[in-house]
Amino acid sequence: MPVPWWRQRRRAESALADAQSVFDARLAYGERLQQDRVAALEGEIARLGAELAGKDDLVRSVVAEVRHTAATRLPELAMATAHPHVVVPGLRDEQLAGSEIDVSLGQVLDQVRQLVVDERVRGDDAAKAVMRGVMGKLQALHYRQQTFLQGMQERYDHPDVAEDLVRLDELNELNLRLVQGLAVMCGRWPGLARGDSPVQGIVKSAAGRVVGYQRIATPSYHVRGRLGVVARAVEPLAMVLAELLDNALSHSPSNIDIEVEVKHGASGCTFFITDWGLGMEADELARANGLAAGDLALLFTELEGEPPGIGLPVAGAIARQYGLRTVLERAPYSNGLRAAVLVPESLLIMVKEDSVAPNTVSPNVPSPRVPILGDEEPLPVHVSAYTPATGPGGLPQRRGMRARAAAGAAGGVPDAPGAPDPSPAENQSRWAAVQSGTAAGRAAPDQPDHPSEEGQP
């Protein structure tokens, strides 16, 4: 039986409605899926945008940090290598602390610090090498000049000339102390070899090297027997005492004497130098002790002052090299300072009886020099058993020709055998003849040395 046409129509319409329903459902699903994808993409875009913005902020912060390091931290770091009290700034952005950029910049700063320190040391070594050479030559010249002046003091009898020569000798001694101190600071040895010497002679030698030695009170010695110092430490110890005496004299009132005391204890011999100056604050005293003991080593190019003060650095360099111990402290009965130099027992020795000077010391009388050994520059040698006496005013008193002849007969430099002692009048006549002859020679017209050749073409 055939299906009526209206039923077929209803089936077709029902199928079409089902297909339309399926199509609509799929279309709705597609739209939702598209919306979800769009939302996801928009979220990803937002996330990437936020991340990019964060990266941009990090880059800007890193660039600012690098600029801060280059403009501020590196200069302060270079300054801190020479002045430890300078504080190097930290990071500009503290949020970078512990980050990779913080670690990297820290490594850069460490390398720059090491490079600056190495370069300063190399420059200082080069400066010291130059100064060693120059100071060695100057030291040799001053020793020659000293020997020459001492010879002149023995030759000329006129009191005014003798006094001027003594003043020149004192100035030469001051220059020599400065040159010697600079040479030691630059790594050179003191440049003067001396024999085993009594402590009295060392104090006297040190006192003769400073300005205002007249203000040094008579030293007091509390030593056992004929105490002396071994040869290798004599000149270094005299240099240290001279620097401390000069420091004490420079910072004390001109109407008060400097006290010097020497005591021999169980652990060694100690030289005390007490002044009545203004003293130092606690931080200054700590720094001075570091310099004097050699614990605070300074580069030669880091000396402070105008002109640079080298007294304590010289004392520290010598103390560190020769095993001396130098301490500065407040004076017990004033605001001044008391410097103590301990010479260990290993550097002490008992000297012969004839080499011990009297207990009363005249500081203005220089101790005799002995040959200089082992120096690159051949320094002059002046050995004399003759010791000038002291006259009024603390100045060495000259000796006439007869006195020198007597000294030569006693073991000093002998005069020519049979030569009569010239009187002052004879010396004046001889020098007048020399001067008149020199003046006549200079005033004479120039003449050819070989007249026979004058007429030759």
Strand, coil or helix: what is 317? helix
N-term to C-term CA, the chain:
170
pLDDT of residue 431: 56
pLDDT of residue 440: 61
Q: Two tokens at 333? A: 């009965």
| Lateral strand order in the sheet of 227-229 | 197-198, 227-229, 348-350
pLDDT tens, position by position, for the chain (457 residues)?
Answer: 777 888 888 889 999 999 999 999 999 999 999 999 999 999 999 999 999 998 898 899 999 999 999 999 999 998 888 887 888 888 888 888 888 889 999 999 999 999 999 998 898 899 889 988 898 899 889 989 988 988 888 888 788 888 888 889 889 888 989 898 889 888 888 877 788 999 999 999 999 889 888 899 999 999 888 899 999 999 999 999 999 999 899 888 888 889 999 999 888 999 999 988 887 888 888 888 988 888 877 777 777 777 778 888 899 889 888 989 999 998 888 788 999 999 999 999 998 765 544 443 333 334 444 433 334 443 433 333 334 444 444 444 444 444 444 444 444 434 444 444 555 455 556 656 655 665 565 555 544 444 333 333 3
Residue 9: is it exposed, middle or buried by C-beta count within 10 angstroms (0-12/13-18/19+)?
Answer: exposed
Distance of alpha carbon 253 from alpha carbon 122, whole angstroms:
42
Q: What backbone torsions phi and psi does residue 330 show, to the nearest 5 degrees?
A: -70, 140
Residue 381: how many CA atoms within 13 Å on its side-chain side? 10
Q: Which helix (H) or strand (E) holds 273?
A: strand 268-274
State the Cα–Cα distance between residues 351 and 358, nearest whole angstrom.
Answer: 14
Note the pLDDT of residue 266.
87
Name the burial class of residue 99, with classes exposed (0-12), middle (13-18) and buried (19+) by CB atoms within 10 angstroms of its CB.
Answer: middle
* Helix, strand and coil percent figures for the chain, each rounded to 5: 60, 10, 35
Of 385, 388, 399, 395, give the one whose Cα is nearest residue 364. Answer: 395
**If you search the block for the tokens 């205002």, which residue do you land on?**
212
Q: Which residues contact 442 (CB under 8 A, 6 or more apart)?
A: none
pLDDT reported for residue 433: 61
Q: Report yes or no: 203 and 237 within 8 Å, Cβ to Cβ.
A: no
The reported pLDDT for the residue numbered 432 is 60
